[in-house]
Chain A
Amino acid sequence: LRKSILLCFLLQKRFYSLKVAPKVSSSGTAAKVKLSPESQNPEITKLPNGLVIASLENFSPASRIGVFIKAGSRYETSSNLGTAHLLRLASNLTTKGVSSFRITRGIEAVGGSLSVHATREKMAYSVECLRDYVDTVMEYLLNVTTAPEFRPWEVADLQPQLKVDKAIALQNPQVGVLENLHAAAYKNALANPLYCPDYRVGKITPEQLHHFVQNNFTSSGMALVGIGIKHSTLKQVAEQFLNIRSGGGVPGAKAVYRGGEIRKQTGDSLVHAAVVAEGAVLGSKEANAFSVLQYVLGAGPLVKRGSNVTSKLTQGAAKATSQPFDVSAFNVNYSDSGLFGVYIISQAPSAGEVIKAALNQVKAVAQGGVTDADVTTAKNQLKANYLMSVETSKGLLNEIGSESLFSGTHTSPSAAAQKIDSVSTADVVNAAKKFVSGKKSMAASGDLGNTPFLDEL
């Protein structure tokens, strides 16, 4: 049966050269092939078992297919922390259909790549390859997501990799601060770290991995997304192979915001600190307001290696200190909560002044100190950033996948731009007010001698 399906794929591919070649004729009524993704919106189907299939046929020579799953560190419990991290690293282990060796060599042989990208709420397994080899890599992708075996010796050999992965990630102080921030801000679910805690390295068992996969990799929490592939192909594949685990699985716990602070005293001369309050839920109208507020305050330099003078936060902090610093607004949305605040990097002696100056700037916006021109500039910056992020096929796949997974629909770029435009200055001020009045959480690392505590802010 599988061989006949593969044969069907091959037959379908034979006719591409006839379909894609646009008819060039001098008459004005010639049919034009629309090639831009703008006019070619993704097709989305939702199967009865809950699986969402989305595909965008943009006739590119390389295809990119992803399986997005509602699984991540938030679905761990205190007894199996770190399972999602190991799962991330375990994508090339032996499966029921193919061995680990064959996955690696097979994907190499066709020049493709398999990668896993995981956030606290979702995991995305994606493969990319030339169009002709899609069936081969599709087979590996399906094996990895639906039928992993987690052989005890392979899992045991993989555990040291957890340490290496974590060490590489923590070289960047921001990662550590953000992990602490989530641990401080939430009581459960979203508080779970993205990287395996040290005491769990070497203790994660294949049974825990299997359990995690059984509970979370269910059809109703998955989306199969493809770019550069026909919708009917994806649909066939999904109906045939992704039907194994139906049901909703174990629902994750609702994230409860608590607001706390975690300080990590190191000897670093640079202090990294984040001060946040609860923000907006993914996809809500508030989320757009918070995003615009983020750009009003300043969300990172727009000119590479520039001095970011236009951002409000930078202007405020520049008055407080002459030492080098970097301040930007921090905004993240999850399916049932969000965080909004400021992220500060400053020299240790001036940390207190910079943090206070940044928070004063947000207070100023909350008190109405923002003009319509500021808001329009911010909207343009936000729109530009969003549109540029979906320019690459990787960004586009991620965007289509995340949206299909969480809402089962797709917002075209023009609709997204409209939503951003519909945010009014009052919305932005309200968002700032919500931050100022909300219970704060804080995470800081570095030489914290001059870094104030939350109750001193």
Chain B
Amino acid sequence: AGGGGLLEKIRKWYYNLAGFNKLGLMRDDTLHEDDDVKEALKRLPEHLYNERVFRIKRALDLSLKHQILPKDQWVKYEEDRPYLEPYLKEVIRERQEREAWNKK
């Protein structure tokens, strides 16, 4: 339990150091858009997709003005949800299945 708590603390420290939460972004907003991510984005339900677009727009605006959000609006480590992860995992699994079949 002590070891697990330490790992969590390190992750939280690194999350805050990375700094994208100060622009109001979540981790999945910052993923590099390769083919798998693009396909997973197509499968996002509409409300999640709209929230993502809003966050990215807001972050672009802030970086244009060289500002960051006030501290109470930063995304907290606990609140950051990997919303794209299940869709992305499924896309990658399907691609691997296709490749496995095509190799046979």
Contact = CB atoms under 8 A, between A and B. Distances in A.
Contacts of B97: 99, 101-102
B42 interface: yes
Nearest to B43: A153
A101 B98 contact: yes
Interface string B40-60: 001101000000000000000
Nearest to A98: B97
Contacts of A153: 42-43
B89 to A, nearest CB: 13
Contacts of A319: none
Contact of B101 (A101, A151, A152): A101
Range class of the B interface residue count: under 10
B94 A99 contact: yes
Interface in A72-108: 99, 101-102, 105
A149 B54 CA distance: 30
Interface string A146-180: 00000111000000000000000000000000000
Q: Chain A interface mostly helix, strand, loop or mixed?
A: helix
Contacts of B45: 152
Contact of A105 (B42, B94, B101): B101
Nearest to A102: B97
Contacts of A152: 43, 45
Interface in A306-327: none
B94 A101 contact: yes
Nearest to A94: B94
Contacts of A101: 94, 97-98, 101
A151 B42 CA distance: 12
A439 B97 CA distance: 59
A101 B101 CA distance: 10
A47 to B, nearest CB: 35
A48 to B, nearest CB: 38
Contacts of B101: 101-102, 105
Nearest to B42: A153
Contacts of B98: 101
Interface in A129-160: 151-153
A153 B40 CA distance: 10
Interface string A100-131: 01100100000000000000000000000000
A101 B97 CA distance: 8
A212 B94 CA distance: 27
Nearest to B45: A152
Contacts of A151: 43
A151 B94 CA distance: 14
Interface in A7-25: none
14 contacts: A99-B94, A99-B97, A101-B94, A101-B97, A101-B98, A101-B101, A102-B97, A102-B101, A105-B101, A151-B43, A152-B43, A152-B45, A153-B42, A153-B43
Given A99-B97, A151-B43, 12 more contacts: A99-B94, A101-B94, A101-B97, A101-B98, A101-B101, A102-B97, A102-B101, A105-B101, A152-B43, A152-B45, A153-B42, A153-B43
Interface of B: 42-43, 45, 94, 97-98, 101
Q: Considering the complex of A and B, which 10 residue pairs feature the smallest CB-CB distances, nearest first?
A: A153-B43, A105-B101, A101-B98, A99-B94, A101-B97, A153-B42, A99-B97, A101-B94, A102-B97, A152-B45
